[in-house]
């Protein structure tokens, strides 16, 4: 007898996007540049010299995109707010037209019975703040608190679920340690400082919310479960370091008020000591966490890898996506039960889960067949249900992504959308996976 995959009453079905990846018009209506607008116009940083000047033109087409969400039966939509649209210099003067865009977006979502979930920071730091040191300047926490307050005052109540940061790990590892993402630094001493200031900024935003907000606030982290490649002590230690570095470096401070002990092993002299007052600010209570899950990592000790001394071991028995990620749905169940067990079963939303497989640049007679993505979604939604059966407190699921969009420095080469975008005509075409997902939503999982 196969089990029923009907999800609990109130489980929320949604899709996710981010501002710089879909909006286009980055400087319209008084918006200031972000570090991603600057990075994307820096020769050599972006595949095919792609940039977000147009992207999915969502800034102009958001009503059509909301109509698509409605047609799919989505109950919620996770998007991010471009800080420099609202505060062109990152602080001080508010650009009302920038705020107006997000107000129109939110009101149109509500008119269509779609609950907005807003991420305040999804990597696009105002360039004016980067000129002042960005995440390396301790004042950035106050700047983020000020921006948060502007947004809470204008939209709290219509937005009932706020996320402060999207994936501080990626911001630090990509933007300050390895340099593949904006602002493109490669500095072992900067990375821990950026991480800490990101978490302090999270804390200032939560503090601001507790003073004026009436609903829920949390943080979104990417979790990639680590599995030792062998029983050897060095592979186990490598796994522990990798788990501390990616999966615990942010959640341990938020939930326990302290960093994993492995951080000093990893960064050595580059790992500072921080005051307890900072850890108290970082670890004030939140209402939920967003978990972004894509893949797992089978980890071995690797003396040559920097700074982790750990490397992934490829798993040829499994399918890999266009971004080189192993399809491993059990890793999502393992991630959710790990969060439950380690952090006391907090409310979790899967705020991103999805895959890039090859999709054609144009639809064929109004159709885009994406069987691998349909299979990916089925397997991972079943994995979520298994975690709920194991007692995990899961509030909902947001597929990444609603639309094909700008995959950061990989440009438009990777398509994660359940809705296809023809970048030459801006035509949207729901893929087979969108129809599949709509059926899951309509049956609340019964058709899984
Ligand atoms: O790469 C797909 C998406 C991005 O388009 C989103 O903006 C971003 O939030 C996002 N994060 C991740 C996970 C990052 C990650 C994957 C695997 C290993 C380490 C980190 C995947 N994605």
ipTM of the complex: 0.96
Q: pLDDT 10s digit of each residue in the chain, 448 long?
A: 789 999 999 999 999 999 999 999 999 999 999 999 999 999 999 999 999 999 999 999 999 999 999 999 999 999 999 999 999 999 999 999 999 999 999 999 999 999 999 999 999 999 999 999 999 999 999 999 999 999 999 999 999 999 999 999 999 999 999 999 999 999 999 999 999 999 999 999 999 999 999 999 999 999 999 999 999 999 999 999 999 999 999 999 999 999 999 999 999 999 999 999 999 999 999 999 999 999 999 999 999 999 999 999 999 999 999 999 999 999 999 999 999 999 999 999 999 999 999 999 999 999 999 999 999 999 999 999 999 999 999 999 999 999 999 999 999 999 999 999 999 999 999 999 999 999 999 999 999 9
Catalytic site includes residue 167: yes
In 156-189, alpha helices (H):
168-172
Q: Is the CB of 172 under 6 A from ligand 1?
A: no
Q: Specify the pLDDT at position 3.
A: 92
* Ramachandran area for residue 116 (φ above 0: left; ψ -120 to 50: alpha; else beta): beta
Compute, in angstroms, the gap from residue 277 CA to the centroid of ligand 1: 31
Going from the C-alpha of 161 to that of each of 33, 167, 215, the distances in angstroms are 26, 17, 7
Q: Is the CB of 143 under 6 A from ligand 1?
A: no
Catalytic site includes residue 103: no
Q: Specify the pLDDT at position 275.
A: 98
Alpha-carbon gap, residue 323 to 372, rounded angstroms: 14
Q: Is the CB of 223 under 6 A from ligand 1?
A: no
Query: Residues in the chain, how many?
Result: 448
Task: Give the ligand 1 atom nearest the CA of 325.
Answer: 17
Q: Specify the pLDDT at position 195.
A: 98
In 73-189, alpha helices (H):
83-86, 96-111, 127-130, 140-155, 168-172
């Amino acid at each position: 007898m196969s089990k029923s995959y009907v999800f609990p009453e109130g489980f929320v079905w949604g899709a996710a996007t981010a501002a710089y990846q879909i909006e286009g018009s980055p400087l319209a209506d008084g918006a200031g540049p972000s570090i991603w607008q600057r990075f994307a116009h820096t020769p050599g940083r972006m595949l095919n010299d792609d940039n977000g000047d147009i992207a999915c033109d969502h800034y102009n087409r958001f009503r059509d995109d909301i109509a698509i969400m409605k047609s799919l039966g989505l109950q919620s939509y996770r998007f991010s707010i471009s800080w420099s649209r609202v505060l062109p210099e990152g602080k001080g003067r508010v650009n009302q037209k920038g705020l107006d865009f997000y107000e129109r977006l939110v009101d149109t979502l509500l008119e269509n019975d779609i609950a907005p979930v807003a991420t305040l920071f999804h990597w696009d730091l105002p360039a004016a703040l980067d000129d002042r040191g960005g995440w390396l300047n301790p004042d950035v926490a106050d700047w983020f608190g000020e921006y948060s307050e502007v947004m809470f005052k204008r939209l709290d109540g219509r937005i009932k679920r706020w996320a402060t940061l999207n994936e501080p790990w990626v911001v630090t590892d990509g933007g300050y340690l390895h340099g593949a993402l904006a602002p493109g630094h490669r500095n072992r001493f900067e990375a821990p400082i950026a991480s800490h200031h990101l978490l302090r900024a999270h804390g200032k935003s939560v503090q601001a919310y507790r003073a004026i907000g009436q609903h829920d606030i949390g943080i979104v982290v990417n979790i990639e479960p680590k599995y030792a490649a062998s029983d050897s002590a060095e592979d186990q230690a490598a796994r522990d370091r990798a788990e501390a570095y990616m999966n615990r470096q942010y959640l341990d401070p938020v939930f326990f008020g302290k960093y994993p002990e492995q951080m000093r092993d990893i960064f050595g002299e580059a790992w500072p000591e921080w005051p307890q007052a900072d850890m108290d600010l970082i670890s004030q209570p939140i209402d939920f966490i967003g978990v972004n899950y894509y893949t797992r990592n089978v980890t071995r000790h690797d003396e040559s890898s920097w700074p982790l001394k750990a490397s992934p071991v490829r798993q040829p028995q499994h399918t890999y996506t266009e971004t080189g990620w192993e399809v491993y749905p059990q890793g999502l169940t393992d991630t959710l039960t790990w969060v439950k067990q380690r952090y006391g079963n907090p409310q979790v939303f899967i705020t991103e889960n999805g895959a890039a497989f090859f999709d054609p640049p144009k639809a064929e007679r109004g159709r885009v067949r994406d069987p691998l993505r349909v299979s990916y979604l089925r397997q991972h939604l079943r994995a979520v249900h298994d975690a709920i059966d194991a007692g995990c407190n899961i509030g909902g699921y947001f597929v990444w992504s609603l639309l094909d969009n700008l995959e950061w420095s990989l440009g438009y080469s990777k398509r994660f959308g359940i809705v296809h975008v023809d970048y030459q005509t801006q035509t949207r075409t729901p893929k087979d996976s969108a129809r599949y997902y709509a059926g899951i939503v309509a049956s609340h999982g019964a058709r899984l």
